Every structure is written in C-alpha cells, then in structure tokens.
Amino acid sequence: MNSRTIQPPGPSRTRARAIAAAGARDLIGDRVYRLGADILVDENVSWCPPGIRTTQPVNCYVIKGFGGSVLVDTGVRLHETEILAQLDAVLEPGERLAVVLTRTEMECCLNLPAIEARFDVESVWYTGGITVPRTTAEPRRIMVNPGTSQLVEVIDGIKLEFVSPLMRLLPTLWIFDPVSGALLTSDAFTHGSYRRTPDGLGASDGLCKFRWFSEADTRGIAADVESVVRERQVTAIGPGYGEPFIGVAQCATESAALAAAIREVGVQ
C-alpha cells in the first residue's frame, strides 16, 4: 500500500468549524495544518524588500497521525494566544504531541513552555542547541550532516525526513512528510507573501534577502535547493514566514526561482 493513502481520520464537522474559527488552515487535507498569525512587514524588518509595506504570516505546522501529532516549530511569542487556541482546535483532547524545532531560534521555540503547560508534549526534537529553552519533555537532539537527511519516527506512526539543507547559517532542518508530500522549510522559501506595489515591486523581490551570499560560491547551495524538491514528490512547501506554495508544479517553479536567485547573487 502506498504510504500516502494512510491518513488519520478527518475531523468532525464541529471540530472542522472550530479549527476554521481558531484561524488554523489546512495545508494538505486533514494531515497538515498551518498555525500562526500575521505580522506587519516594512522597512523595519531586515528581510523585507525596499519599498514594500505589507503583512506576512508567521507559521508553524501540525502533522496529524493516528496515535499522536507533531508540531513543527512553536511560533512567535506575539502569537502565543492564537497558537494555543489553534492547537486546542486541531488536537483531540489528551492527544500526545511531539515538537520538532527547525532551528533553535526565538521565532521557532519561544512558545514551547506555554504549549508544554497545556498539552501532553512527550518529546522535543532539535538540532544545534544555542538557544533551546528549558523543556519538561524529553529533549531529543539530532545531528544531520549538511546536504543529507535522516528518516525519523518522531512519534508512534509518524515518520518524517529531517533534511539538512546547504542553504543555512546555523544548523537548520527542513521537515518532509512522505505521507502528504509537505516540505516545511523554516526560514527558506519565504518570498510568497509580497504584493505588487506602484513602484513595480512584487513577489520576486522577496528573493533579494540573499545579499549575504554575495561573497560565496553558491553553485552547490543552489543545486541542493533544487535537488531537495526534485528528488521528492513535494506537493506543498510550508515556510516559517510567508504564504505556502501548493502543488507539485508550483513547488518546482519556486525551487528553481530560489536557486536562480542564489546563483545570481553569489560568486561564480
């Protein structure tokens, strides 16, 4: 049987209405949900392209299974109330939960104490370890060599591929769910929320953030971005910031655009 046909049962109509009312959005059916809320993005935000003022979602994700679920990142502290309400709606009462941190950065882990206080968190998976907050759950530190991946059973019945991309400064994990095809990309693929302005700026300008690659040979980094998507049946890309990309063709297009931007800014 193809593993992609194995899905947890969908929510009841009542729970589905509660999920929508809380602001959680399904990324892929009843398997992957997107949590979080919007922030204002303008010239005061370091990754915002010049001349753009808009809102941008900050995301974390729940991957649902039969015996428990996995939360990928915990969102920013600004959105603590919203995320707790969204988890209340998405999770069954008493449901077991594991947490995976894509980076040990503040926007990925600061809601962990509040989540642990309300839900049955049994483990917290992370790489690196510079700013991991105190946790009462079992800490599971994992090291994945850059450019490689590991398949990990994070909680009973949910096996996820921990991908260590070459496009990173600090240790970073992209999380691929083989069942749904969702690739959750932390601080990469974040250019999907910019809107056209009177100055002619648009979504592609979200790729301008890679100026820090200007003194690097980026050929291998760009090739890795494309290969991560090409070698998997990626049906959705869920970034930590910005709107997701949906569909196999769109994911391939955006990986090619991101790779091209990295190549262009680097030293060839």
Task: Report pLDDT digits (tens) over 109-133.
Answer: 999 999 999 999 999 999 987 666 6
Task: Report pLDDT digits (tens) over 212-267.
Answer: 788 889 999 999 999 999 999 999 999 999 999 999 999 999 999 999 989 988 87
Arithmetic mean of pLDDT, 193-199: 56
| Predicted pLDDT of residue 7 | 56
Within a domain: 5: no
CA distance 56 to 62: 19
Q: Which CATH number goes with the domain that contains 234?
A: 3.60.15.10
Task: Report pLDDT digits (tens) over 142-193.
Answer: 999 999 999 999 999 999 999 999 998 889 999 999 999 999 999 999 988 7
Mean pLDDT of all residues belonging to the chain: 88
Within a domain: 14: no
For residue 250, give every residue at least 6 positions away whose Cβ sits within 8 Å of its Cβ, in sequence order, or none. Answer: none
Within a domain: 252: yes
Take residue 137 and report the two structure tokens written for it: 């759950």
Range of the domain at 53: 19-265
CA distance 144 to 149: 6
Pairing relationship of beta strands 174-177 and 182-184 according to DSSP bridges: antiparallel
Within a domain: 77: yes
Helix (H) or strand (E) holding 214: none
SS3 93: coil
Domain count of the fold of the chain: 1
| Predicted pLDDT of residue 9 | 62
| Predicted pLDDT of residue 192 | 84
Within a domain: 184: yes
Pairing relationship of beta strands 174-177 and 158-163 according to DSSP bridges: antiparallel
Within a domain: 11: no
**Cβ atoms of 122 and 138 closer than 8 Å:** yes
Neighbours of 264 (CB within 10 A): 13
pTM across the whole model? 0.91
